[in-house]
Structure 1
Amino acid sequence: MSTKRASVNIDINAWFEGVAEQFRGLNPNEPGQWPVLPKLAAFAVVVLAAVALGWFLVLADVQAALDAEREKEPNLKQDYRSKLAQAVNLPELRKQKSQVEEYVTQLEKQLPGKAEMDALLSDINQAGLGRGLQFELFRPGQILVKDYYAELPIALRVSGRYHDVGSFAADVSNLSRIVTLHNLSVVAPTGKDLGGALSMEATARTYRYLDAGEVAEQKKAAASKKAAGAKK
């Protein structure tokens, strides 16, 4: 029994010695003449090196891109939920949009066109005269053109009784066209003339919509300004 064990140990030792012998005295310049085991070992080393190099040169960038896409996932899910909620409420949103469009249309009807501005200025003047006020100043200013409308400031100074001045301000606010009063300043009579007329200074602002030609001109100017900014 002991003879068999000794034989096995001797055979194993002899096998390891044979393997080691194959790796001794290898000529690196002539790998084709190497024994089988060194060739297999060299092949395994080359494969592992190729895999490692491929990981660092190719797969590492792919992994980084994958991680970046995974980081986008929560935001995309949130965006999806938001759009899904909008899609579910689409009929109600369309109804609200229609209501807003109707409201905007009503507001646009309160804005005079270019041809109606003179009539509106006359209405403001008549509102003051109808209350018995005396116009000391009625001077339209420079028209300010905005994106979708134009604004006309009018410098006003009227004098009259307290209630008439208040009624005039109310009449202006109730005109069919939009007119707003800004920078109101009411000066009471001084000295002995306590029963005299009050003096009110204000800036009335009225608005009109732009016609098709003016809208086109505004868009052209905005496009030119954007192009000039892009060149800088």
Structure 2
Amino acid sequence: MTPLSEVDWDLESAGTWPLPVKIAVMVIIAAVVAGLWIYFDTQDQLAQLDKVRQEEKNLKDTFASKQKKAIHLEEYKQQLAEMEKTFGDMLRQLPNKAEVPDLLVDVSQTGLAAGLEFELFQPQAENKKDFYAELPIRVRVTGDYDQLGAFVSGLASLPRIVTVHDVALAPVKDNARMVMNAVIKTYRYLDEEEIGGRSSSKRGGKRGRR
């Protein structure tokens, strides 16, 4: 066996290298080739695998979400039905245009029944919203504390929606009575023609601003 110190390590003389050296070099070359193959080929596969795993997780999350909704579907339907009923009940508390005069009478009669004296009862212009209109009424009434409280309580007890805003109280000089200024708002729902007219005017307004 040729001593290693006498071996010509030039690559052109590789055929004369000792067998153990040849085997070691071949193993190293094979390992390098395998490493390069793994790096350039397997890395792409690993990236693809991560992508597939993420898609699988997303699909599982989507499935779990839809399954949860499916489990509670009847509950959601019941809640929707309750909301529709509540909305219908509230809508029925809004008078139509023909019922507004009677509602105004109810408001004034509530104050008179409480023992108040009206100094001002002045309906204002309607303020139309999407499907209903506000009807503000400026009032100035005089009465004692209990009468004023009975008036506000009576308004809340009316079968129609009535709200009280901008309340200002002031005592009457040399008297136990008080003056209350307030804005009482009643509401009515818009009929289909009014809603249609508002929609058309909004569309026309948008076209005009272009």
Q: One fold, TM greater than 0.5?
A: yes
Deviations 1:142-190 (A, max 9, x none): 1011011111111010001221111011101111100000011111123
Matches within 5 A, 1:1-232: 81-190=64-173, 193=174, 195-227=175-207, 232=210
Name the counterpart of 2:42.
none
Query: CA 1:198–1:108 in 2, change beyond 3 Å: closer, same or farther?
Result: same
Which runs of no fewer than 5 residues in structure 1 stay unpaired?
Answer: 1-8, 10-66
**CA offset digits 1:40-95 (Å, max 9, x no partner):** xxxxxxxxxxxxxxxxxxxxxxxxxxx9xx99998787565444422331111111
How far apart are the structure 2 equivalents of 1:223 and 1:75? 42
Q: Which amino acid aligns with 2:106?
A: D
TM-score (norm 2): 0.67
Larger radius of gyration: 1
Give the alignment's TM-score, normalised by structure 1.
Answer: 0.61
Residues 81-136 of structure 1, C-alpha deviation per residue, up to 9 Å, x if partnerless?
A: 44442233111111110011111111011111110000000001111111221111
Q: Measured at CA, do residues 78 and 207 of structure 1 come closer, stay the same or move farther in structure 2, by a change above 3 Å?
A: farther
- Alignment: residue pair count: 160
Identity between Structure 1 and Structure 2 (%)? 39
Q: Could you say what secondary structure the match of 2:77 adopts?
A: helix
Query: Which amino acid is the alignment partner of residue 220 of structure 1?
Result: S
